[in-house]
Chains A and B, each alone.
Chain A
Amino acid sequence: MRLVLFIFFGWILLILGDRVGDFKLYQGSFVATYALAIASIILLTGYSGQLSLGHSALMAVGAYAGALAIFNAGLHPVIGLIMAALVAGVFGLILGLIVARLTGPYLAGTTLALAISLPTLANQFPILGAEEGIVFDVGLPPARFGEDFSQYKWFFWICCLASLIMVWFIANLVSTKYGRTFRAMRDNPIAAQLSGINVGRLKVTAFAISSGVAGLSGGLLVMLISGVSPSAFPLSLSFSILTGAVITGLYNLKGVILGGLVLVAIPEIADSLVSRVGGSEGFIATFPGFLVSALLILAVVFTPNGPGHLIKKHHKKK
């Protein structure tokens, strides 16, 4: 049933891709990429209860791995993206092993430190291209798609396909025994441990899978900007993704697309609002950030479990 839903949704996107202009396809690619990143946060934080403020660093690991695979090792772009996910996943596995004993604010602090320090590491190793970074080129769309098939449509197809596959995978994962044990671990680790669940190993597993997914989304992100560099993964990216996840429901995968939309749409809305309303320099500079923060606060106060639950409650009342 879930598979049918995903295939149906993929079909809609395919048809949509033919009907909209390149810029909307470009924005759509970002929506899909952010949705994937948000899905990784939902898996880690919503389902397994571990807070990560450093997902931008994991995305960076995947992005660099993918870029090196394509540019330095000359591998096919699809392999490059797979490498992005795998390397980030392994990195997450190792990281998970290290931080397995940490919880709550301590885990958050560690991941925060990672997010701040990791991208600038690229400046230390020449092979990582320093500030200029490494080119991430997935090449032109295959010739068989014809002249009119633009680069941006190709990006859109790749991002949507990758995101659909991975979100479907995660959705399946959390509806299995794994999902239930994750939630048990999240809600009451001690009780979970007592009932025989290996909390430590599961935490690491969740971390690894989440990192892999984040790495893939990092690879997609730098594909869209044709190159990876440390400045592509600032700390604010971690916060944006976390905000997107909270706004659209941290405990449920259903809102990831909306989350991606919010992250892409908010700067646009803020920009057009600002140009209409005008105002002082300071206002124009800080308004988009204010909008995002305000949204986050409203979401936490009114829909802590995401808008999906609001709709459910409304229907139950009926």
Chain B
Amino acid sequence: MIRIKSMKRVSIVSAVIAAGAMVLTTLPAQAATPGVTASEIKLGISSPTSGSAGTAYGKIPGAMKAYFSYINANGGVYGRKITLIHRDDKYLPVLAATRTTQLVLPDGDGVFALVGALGTATHTKAYKAASLAKENVPDLFVNTGYSGFGDTTKYPTTFTVLPSYAMEAKIMSKFIKENFAGQAVALIAQDDEFGIDGVSGFKAGGLTIASTTLYPQSSLTDARAKSLLTGLGALAGKPVLVMMGTTDVTATILKAAESLKLESKFTWIAGSVGGDANTLVGGFKVEPATINGMLAASFFPDAKDTKDEYVSQFMKINAKYNKGVSFDNVVLQGMNSAMLTVQALRAAGKNLTREGLISAIENKGSKFVGAGLVPLNYSATSRVGYNGYWFGQLNASGELKPFGGKLSIFTTDSGDGAIQASNFKRPTMPKNGIPTNS
């Protein structure tokens, strides 16, 4: 009898604890527009800040928060302060799904819109799991180049900002054909929509690839990299080795080459996602000598180019509001997206709604200003942001300088469209980097 009683007691206690834990918060009153009050706009970002992807991209939320703090100190957006809530998803699709759901649900974080969601596999899963389409949650300036996010039938509330991997691969193909004709080309890419996007871009660009290796997300081990490089090292001449992966994998490949003494066997080309010199050398301890001469594509000015007005303004904001964090291309990208976000919020007007924000970007987004050296392509029929690249070469200090000394920018699309030389003139930065658009 005693045994049965105490067993019942434990199970009832468990039930009560479970019940109590769930009712800890009372149901919040439903705001008219979720995440917006008279004094605050809540935005959310799901991105990795731990794990190897965290080392590569962990600076983004901090950079965005720094820029938003700067704007808040200068009146906010029509008097409302911007609060950015960040949830670490460790670059795992399952976590991204639950974190994004948490950001969006009213009794979770209850944000107005998402900004800067990072990762292809992570965000494709999160978008579906968190029912972003159903709730019409604006999904701004995603940190991924997967061209599929521009498809409004699948992602009706999403706006890309980075040029797609397909675009990058096409322009890279042109660059390789013009400058390295006759050399074998090898490709190492992430095995999901990210890498496959790149593969189709290379095909559209008409590049013959001698060897393609696909690896599951962030799982290219040192051993596999070494065996890969040993095999590729047998190719004649000086093969071009293209790495379309995250920075942690670029680092693994480069460090494997260092230990095999194969650094100078290849012409290295790093895709924009995995090519930030500061992260490779500082975060992942790749030798500066190895990245010296590496080719990389970018659509921004180099983060060390202090003569650029956007770079120097962002550097000032970083020094004041993001203390202790070194300024690099990742921080530049984060702050640029934050600047675009502020312009989008301004363009949506004082009566802020989710529908209003989406149509504001559609109608006025192409006129937003930012550090990008290529145009933004938002319209009623296009969710594509930046659409082009220039090619540069890294020096031992990690600065990306235009290849051949002259800055040549090219734009294209994610399909079979032509690659065109761009004569885009970037608009001057608003005073002190504070947008005044409406």
Contacts and interface: CB of A to CB of B under 8 A. Distances in A.
Are A and B associated in one complex?
yes
Interface of A: 5, 9, 12, 16, 19-24, 26-28, 30-31, 120, 123, 130-133, 135, 151-152, 224-227, 229-232, 234, 252, 254-255, 257-258, 261, 265, 271, 281, 284-285, 307-308, 311-312, 315-316
B121 A231 contact: yes
Given A20-B107, A258-B14, A225 B98 contact: yes
A154 to B, nearest CB: 12
B299 to A, nearest CB: 27
A257 B192 contact: no
Interface in B17-34: 17-19, 21-23, 25, 27-28
A132 B11 contact: no
25 contacts: A5-B8, A5-B11, A12-B19, A16-B19, A19-B27, A20-B22, A21-B27, A21-B107, A22-B106, A26-B108, A131-B191, A151-B131, A224-B98, A225-B98, A226-B97, A226-B125, A227-B128, A227-B129, A229-B125, A230-B216, A231-B94, A254-B10, A254-B14, A284-B50, A308-B6
A125 B129 CA distance: 24
B216 A123 contact: yes
Interface SS of B by simple majority: helix
B22 A28 contact: yes
Contacts of A284: 49-50
Contacts of A230: 216
Contact of B105 (A9, A23, A257, A315): A23
Contacts of A123: 191, 216
A152 B98 contact: no
B167 to A, nearest CB: 21
A227 B125 contact: yes
B224 interface: no
B193 interface: yes
Given A23-B107, A152-B105, A312-B6, 8 more contacts: A23-B101, A27-B22, A123-B216, A131-B192, A229-B93, A254-B7, A254-B10, A308-B7
A19 B23 contact: yes
B125 A258 contact: no
Nearest to B21: A261
A292 B115 CA distance: 31
B54 A285 contact: yes
A232 B8 contact: no
B128 A226 contact: yes
Given A5-B8, A23-B102, A226-B129, A285 B51 contact: yes
A316 B6 CA distance: 10
Interface residues of B, number: 48
Nearest to A286: B50
Interface string B90-106: 00111001100110011
- Find the residue from B2, B13, B23 having the highest chain A CB count within 10 A: B13
- Find the residue from B11, B25, B107 having the highest chain A CB count within 10 A: B11
B19 A132 contact: no
B312 interface: no
A80 B2 CA distance: 42
B322 interface: no
A35 B2 CA distance: 26
A167 to B, nearest CB: 10
Contacts of A255: 10, 14
B107 A232 contact: no
Given A225-B125, A284-B50, A257 B15 contact: yes
Contact of A225 (B2, B3, B54, B97): B97
A9 B107 CA distance: 24
Interface in B33-73: 49-51, 54, 58
A48 B201 CA distance: 55
B9 interface: yes
| Those 7 A-B pairs whose CB atoms lie nearest each other, nearest first | A21-B107, A285-B50, A23-B108, A23-B105, A308-B10, A225-B97, A226-B129
A312 B21 CA distance: 23
B124 interface: yes
B313 interface: no
A312 B25 CA distance: 32
B199 to A, nearest CB: 14
Nearest to B6: A312
Contacts of A31: 18
B17 A258 contact: yes
A224 to B, nearest CB: 8
A250 to B, nearest CB: 14
Contacts of B58: 281
Contacts of A252: 7
Nearest to B110: A23
Contact of B22 (A16, A226, A316): A16
B360 to A, nearest CB: 28
B217 interface: yes
Contacts of A257: 14-15, 17-18
Contacts of B2: 315-316
A131 B19 contact: no
Contacts of A24: 22-23, 25, 107
A28 B18 CA distance: 9
A21 B3 CA distance: 37
B124 A132 contact: yes
Contacts of B125: 133, 225-227, 229
Contacts of A254: 7, 10-11, 14
A133 B129 CA distance: 13
Contacts of A131: 121, 191-192, 216-217
Contacts of A132: 121, 124, 192-193
Contacts of A9: 11, 15
